[in-house]
């Protein structure tokens, strides 16, 4: 347990640095993108190189934005929130992308789950990350299930199940490590941030996967936890 605590403190310092640097990079980046776009309007003929530059600037921007979500614990906005509401919002948000990917999203929400003490925006980000991974794992289309149920008297369980490519055993342990990605245009940051957010909620996130069959992500979140633990170690 001691080792785990040290690891999370290190992550937290690294996270704050990353958020700070990301913030500083954003302004010059915006300016670079603006002037590159302006150049396109000034130069006649082929814009092949400028388009490559704009594409690469977008890519830096994506990475920077993912880093900025390393919110400092003080900025967490914890309150009682309704997971049914959060999850339905995400299903709606991703529906267009799902249709384009030929994916059907099936939602199965137990109406009796209690509200949980959470930072709704951060949890949204976790679910969006995981749903996007599920869609990206199914280029041929198929079905993604999103389930919400009770898990004992004081916790709730969210399961997101896809029938995509699956994850080989040797990659499973790398999941959540910074920059671990198998995608040509992935950042490998989504799950690292997701693990951090679930940790800040005193919850647990697990991956079960079988190559060729699909992946199940299960997230258990406590209904409430003592407020004093939220900013622990950050004085």
Binding site residues, Mg ion, CB under 5 A: 133, 190
Residue 7 contacts which entry, ligand ADP, Mg ion, none (Cβ below 5-8 A, type-dependent): none
Q: DSSP 3-state assignment of 181?
A: coil
How far CA 74 is from CA of 65, 118, 135, in Å, comes to: 19, 14, 33
Among 7, 23, 72, 183, binds ligand ADP (CB under 6 A): 183
Residue 215 contacts which entry, ligand ADP, Mg ion, none (Cβ below 5-8 A, type-dependent): ligand ADP
Among 92, 182, 229, 231, binds ligand ADP (CB under 6 A): 182
Q: Does 187 bind ligand ADP (CB under 6 A)?
A: yes
CB of 58 to ligand ADP, least distance (A): 14
CB 148 within 8 A of CB 106: no
β partners of residue 162 = 144, 215
Residue 85 contacts which entry, Mg ion, ligand ADP, none (Cβ below 5-8 A, type-dependent): none
Distance CA 54, CA 32 (A): 9
From 15-23, 40-48, 50-58, 133-141, span contacting ligand ADP (CB under 6 A): 133-141
Q: Does 175 bind ligand ADP (CB under 6 A)?
A: yes
Q: Please, what's the b/e burial string for 60-80 (b: 16 or more CB within 10 A of its CB; e: otherwise)?
A: ebeebebbbbbbeeeebebee
Q: Please, what's the b/e burial string for 17-42 (b: 16 or more CB within 10 A of its CB; e: otherwise)?
A: ebbeebeebbeebeeebeebeeeeee
Among 164, 195, 219, 220, binds ligand ADP (CB under 6 A): 164
Identify which of 123, 102, 101 has the alpha carbon closest to the alpha carbon of residue 200: 123
In the complex with Mg ion, which residue's Cβ is closer, 117 or 127?
127
By CB under 6 A, the count of residues binding ligand ADP is: 21
From 54-62, 71-79, 115-123, 161-169, span contacting ligand ADP (CB under 6 A): 161-169
Interface with ligand ADP (CB under 6 A): 129, 133-134, 137, 162, 164-167, 175, 180-183, 186-191, 215
């Amino acid at each position: 347990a001691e080792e785990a605590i040290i690891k999370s403190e290190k992550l937290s310092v690294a996270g704050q640095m990353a958020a700070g640097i990301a913030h500083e990079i954003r302004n010059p980046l915006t300016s670079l993108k603006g002037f590159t776009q302006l150049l396109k309007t000034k130069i006649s003929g082929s814009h092949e190189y400028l388009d490559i530059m704009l594409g690469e600037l977008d890519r830096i921007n994506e990475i920077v934005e993912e880093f900025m979500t390393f919110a400092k614990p003080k900025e967490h906005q914890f309150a009682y929130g309704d997971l049914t509401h959060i999850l339905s919002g995400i299903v709606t948000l991703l529906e267009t992308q799902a249709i384009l990917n030929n994916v059907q999203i099936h939602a199965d929400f137990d109406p009796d789950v209690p509200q949980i003490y959470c930072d709704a925006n951060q949890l949204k980000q976790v679910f969006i990350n995981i749903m996007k991974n599920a869609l990206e794992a199914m280029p041929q289309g198929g079905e993604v299930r999103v389930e919400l149920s009770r898990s004992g008297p004081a916790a709730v369980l969210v399961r997101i199940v896809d029938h995509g490519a699956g994850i080989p055993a040797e990659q499973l342990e790398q999941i959540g490590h910074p920059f671990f990605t198998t995608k040509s245009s992935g950042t490998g940051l989504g799950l690292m941030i997701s693990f951090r957010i679930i940790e800040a909620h005193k919850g647990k996130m697990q991956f079960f996967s079988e190559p060729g069959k699909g992946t199940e992500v299960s997230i258990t979140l406590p209904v409430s936890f003592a407020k004093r633990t939220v900013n622990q170690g950050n004085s």
